[in-house]
A and B are shown apart, each in its own frame.
Chain A
Amino acid sequence: AQSVAQPEDQVNVAEGNPLTVKCTYSVSGNPYLFWYVQYPNRGLQFLLKYITGDNLVKGSYGFEAEFNKSQTSFHLKKPSALVSDSALYFCAVRDRGYSTLTFGKGTMLLVSP
C-alpha cells in the first residue's frame, strides 16, 4: 500500500520570505514522488518530481523539494514566496511496483503582500 500525509491544512507566509510545505509518504518499495499545484476551478499542474539521484530536486517557478529517505519526507520549498504562489499544493507518491498515484489531502498556501 502507498500513502501520503500533508500535515498542514494551510501555510501562511509573507511575500519575500522562504516557504516550506511538508509531505511525508509511506511505500513498501522505492518511491516516485511528485508535487502538483492547483488553482481555483482548474486541474492540477505538475511542479516537480523525484525519481532517483540528487535529493534536492528543482522544478517550475523556482520551487524545489528535498527527498529525505530516512524521514520518508519530500518537503516543497521556495526561497522567496510570491503572492501569485497562493494556491493548493498536492504531494503524490507512486511505489515503483504500482501504476497509480496516491495524493495527499493538499495544503493551501497563502502568501500575503
Chain B
Amino acid sequence: DTGVSQNPRHKITKRGQNVTFRCDPISEHNRLYWYRQTLGQGPEFLTYFQNEAQLEKSRLLSDRFSAERPKGSFSTLEIQRTEQGDSAMYLCASSLLGESNQPQHFGDGTRLSIL
C-alpha cells in the first residue's frame, strides 16, 4: 500500500493559464474523490468517480474545471483560464467500494497559487 499520490505538490501559475493535476489512488481502490481546501476551511467536495465513471459533481465545479479517470486508475483535474479564486489546496482521496463504511484515504494535495 503506497498510499494516494498527487503531482505536482506545488503549482504556481499566472492568471488565465491552464493547469492540470494528477492523482494516483491506492491500487485496489475503485472510488476516487477530488476536494478543494482553502485556508481556514475543511475540504469541500468537487467530484468523484467510481471506476472510470464520474458519478457526481458539486456545484463548486464550474465549467472551467474538468476531471477524468480514463482507465479507472489515475485521475486528472484540469482548470482552464485560472482565476485568483482558484488558489487553494486540491486534495485527492480514494476508497474501496464494497462496504459503505470504508474511510477515504487522502493524498498530500497539490497547492495551487495564482499570481
Contacts and interface: CB of A to CB of B under 8 A. Distances in A.
Contacts, number: 53
Contacts of B104: 46, 101
Interface residues on A, range: 20 to 34
A46 B26 CA distance: 15
Interface stretch (A14-22, A37-45, A70-78, A79-87): A37-45
A58 interface: no
Contact of B106 (A43, A51, A100): A43
A51 B107 contact: no
A88 B106 CA distance: 15
A73 B108 CA distance: 28
A34 B95 CA distance: 14
Interface residues of B, number: 24
Interface of B: 4, 6, 33, 40-45, 48, 55-56, 91, 93, 100-101, 103-109, 111
Return the 8 tightest CB-CB contacts between A and B, nearest first.
Answer: A103-B42, A43-B106, A51-B101, A44-B106, A46-B103, A43-B108, A100-B45, A43-B107
Interface of A: 4, 32, 34, 36, 41-46, 49, 51, 90, 92, 96, 99-106
Nearest to B33: A100
A103 B44 CA distance: 7
Most interface-central of A34, A36, A99, A106 (chain B CB within 10 A) = A99
